[in-house]
A and B are shown apart, each in its own frame.
Chain A
Amino acid sequence: MVKAGALSFANVGMTFPDGTEAVQDVTFDVAPREFVTIVGPSGCGKSTLLRIASGLLRQTAGEVSVNRERLGFVFQDATLMEWRTVRGNVELLAELQGIKVTERKRLAAEAIELVGLSGFENHYPKSLSGGMKMRVSLARSLTLKPPVFLFDEPFGAVDEITREHLNEETLKLFEREKFAGLFITHSISEAVFLSTRVHVMSARPGTLVATFDVPFSYPRSPELRFDAAFGELSRAVSHALLEAHS
């Protein structure tokens, strides 16, 4: 067992009933206040890993230990309830937890403020852009004050500029909320920009083939992306990724 607030995978494997081996022998830890990213191309089993971490899937081999209390989870798309306003969507999880109305209103207002959506509380999802929907989705999980926050390729569907903005905001949230983050992506610059550590995943059956510690301290500025050391590290990750998939 690992101490609370952390996540730990030991020799985890996943073979689906149809015989597809999605993930094989994956071992890594996320310590509290660490932000770990797993990069890999589509279909390498990254999302499977995250579904195992969340408990939505049960691994067929190995040990998984995750603090799932008030688990934060952001999906590939925003997964908003279109019949609820921004406020209603952000309040959902607190509501399901049975938190009192006044308290969840306060939590929601705070989270909406944090993701920069003040003034949009009464909008319905249909009138929001893709980036704004993603912010609502982030805010929804933030209301739980999650010790562990899982991100399943959350910004894959938005345009590049929005993505960079959302990256910067994710960083701010991480710096402020001090959760342990596990982030899945296929974008190398996103991985390096956000993380304390980057794991590279091989093709199916996915396993971790390379690990890079990211030395840059927090808070990080957007300018970091143009730093020579940032470029060096990105190149190294990119090489490892290419090697794993050649």
Chain B
Amino acid sequence: MSQLTDTDVVTAEAASAVAPSDQAKSATRRWTRRILPPILLGLFIIGLWYLISFGVLDEQRRFLLRPPHAVWTVGFANWENFSEILTGLWSSSIVAFIGLTIAIVLGISLATLMSQSKLIERAVFPYAVTLQAIPILAIVPLIGFWFGFGINARVTVCVIIALFPIIVNTLFGLLSAPRGLHDLLTLQRVSRMTRLRKLMFPAALPAIFAGLRISAGLAVIGAIVGDFFFGRGDPGIGQLLQRYANRLMGEQLLAAIIMSSLLGVAVFQLFGLIQEKAIGKWHEEREAEF
């Protein structure tokens, strides 16, 4: 494998001399194939948006869908308006972050306990599923009753929403370590802790990260939803959305929606990046790339 003959070296050099221009060409092709279609679709949607704003809606009803340039000038280019949106977004991000952190600690701890004892797994799992099934709206009054109507309640909503994927993915990951490796460790008579630390946790990492990615997105949604019901303290983006809608401030409403969506996308991408940094070196991605 390591013995290269002279001819091998020559062809390798020849190949590397040709490669750059080829690479540039294929990069351009990849760009046109992957980046261009969504841009074209985006332009089409903006066109449609204009068509509806100016073609379908008459002037009295145009507040229902402000044209894109109005959204830009009022929602984004006006610093006073835009900074208000950013402040709300920041406040919601903090809520989502705290909620997610609590959900991670709680979820991974619970899943670890469940992985150590079938009894605990059987006892806890139905409640984890129930937690997932609870309609948040149904327990809003209870959350307010217990945690007040400020940041504590908003964080609680995030935790409830984000917890389940972390529990399920972590548990699945912990139990996914191959039997052969378990046998290998059994032969070495390792302790339960060593097995958990050296085998089950590392084996669980890909699944844990998959869960984190889902939960991070859910935590952002949780923070915004929580805002609608528990608005005391710093107004989050959810509060702003409600206010803009009530006051028919269409431009700001759309700008705030766009920014909330961007926050969700950014969080999803961020966790993808963390995952890549943490386990990309050794983990083979088996699912399709998005």
A81 with B279: CB separation less than 8 A: no
User: Of B178, B187, B199, B283, which is within 8 A of A54 by CB?
Assistant: B187
User: What is the bound-complex CA distance between A112 and B14, given in angstroms?
Assistant: 33
The CB with the most chain A CB atoms within 10 A, among B180, B186, B281, is that of B180
Secondary structure of the B side of the interface? helix
User: What is the bound-complex CA distance between A84 and B198, given in angstroms?
Assistant: 10
User: What is the bound-complex CA distance between A54 and B194, given in angstroms?
Assistant: 20
- Smallest CB separation, B173 vs chain A (Å): 12
Set of chain B residues within 8 Å of A109, measured between Cβ atoms: none
B282 with A124: CB separation less than 8 A: yes
Quick check: is A63 within 8 A (CB to CB) of the other chain?
no
User: What is the bound-complex CA distance between A79 and B184, given in angstroms?
Assistant: 8
Set of chain A residues within 8 Å of B178, measured between Cβ atoms: 79
Set of chain B residues within 8 Å of A77, measured between Cβ atoms: 180
User: What is the bound-complex CA distance between A36 and B156, given in angstroms?
Assistant: 64
Within 8 A of B (CB), among A59-111: 71, 73, 75-77, 79, 81-84, 92-93, 96-97
Secondary structure of the A side of the interface? loop
Quick check: is A228 within 8 A (CB to CB) of the other chain?
no
Set of chain A residues within 8 Å of B205, measured between Cβ atoms: 83
A96 with B185: CB separation less than 8 A: yes
A71 with B187: CB separation less than 8 A: yes
Quick check: is B202 within 8 A (CB to CB) of the other chain?
yes
> A93 with B188: in contact, given A77-B180, A81-B181, A119-B2 (CB under 8 Å)?
yes
- B178: nearest residue on chain A (CB-CB)? A79
- Smallest CB separation, A68 vs chain B (Å): 8
User: Of B183, B199, B279, B282, which is within 8 A of A125 by CB?
Assistant: B282
Quick check: is B284 within 8 A (CB to CB) of the other chain?
yes
User: What is the bound-complex CA distance between A83 and B185, given in angstroms?
Assistant: 16
- B181: nearest residue on chain A (CB-CB)? A79
B202 with A81: CB separation less than 8 A: yes
Within 8 A of A (CB), among B1-27: 2
- Size category, A interface: 20 to 34
- B185: nearest residue on chain A (CB-CB)? A96
- B282: nearest residue on chain A (CB-CB)? A124
Set of chain B residues within 8 Å of A119, measured between Cβ atoms: 2
CB 8 Å contact bits of B242-257 with A (1 = contact, 0 = none): 0000000000000000
Quick check: is B270 within 8 A (CB to CB) of the other chain?
no
User: What is the bound-complex CA distance between A77 and B284, given in angstroms?
Assistant: 18
- Smallest CB separation, B200 vs chain A (Å): 11
B184 with A97: CB separation less than 8 A: no
Quick check: is B274 within 8 A (CB to CB) of the other chain?
no
Set of chain A residues within 8 Å of B282, measured between Cβ atoms: 82-84, 124-126
- A73: nearest residue on chain B (CB-CB)? B187
> A82 with B183: in contact, given A93-B188, A96-B190, A96-B194 (CB under 8 Å)?
no
Set of chain B residues within 8 Å of A79, measured between Cβ atoms: 178, 180-181, 183-184
Quick check: is A55 within 8 A (CB to CB) of the other chain?
yes
- Smallest CB separation, B181 vs chain A (Å): 5
- B189: nearest residue on chain A (CB-CB)? A96
> A56 with B202: in contact, given A83-B279, A124-B281, A126-B282 (CB under 8 Å)?
no
B188 with A96: CB separation less than 8 A: yes
User: Of A55, A75, A76, which is within 8 A of B184 by CB?
Assistant: A75
Set of chain A residues within 8 Å of B186, measured between Cβ atoms: 56
- Smallest CB separation, A243 vs chain B (Å): 33
- What would be 10 A-B contacts, judged by CB atoms less than 8 Å apart? A73-B184, A73-B187, A79-B180, A79-B184, A81-B199, A81-B202, A119-B2, A124-B282, A125-B282, A126-B284
Q: Which 6 A-B pairs have the closest CB atoms?
A: A79-B180, A124-B282, A96-B188, A83-B202, A75-B180, A126-B284
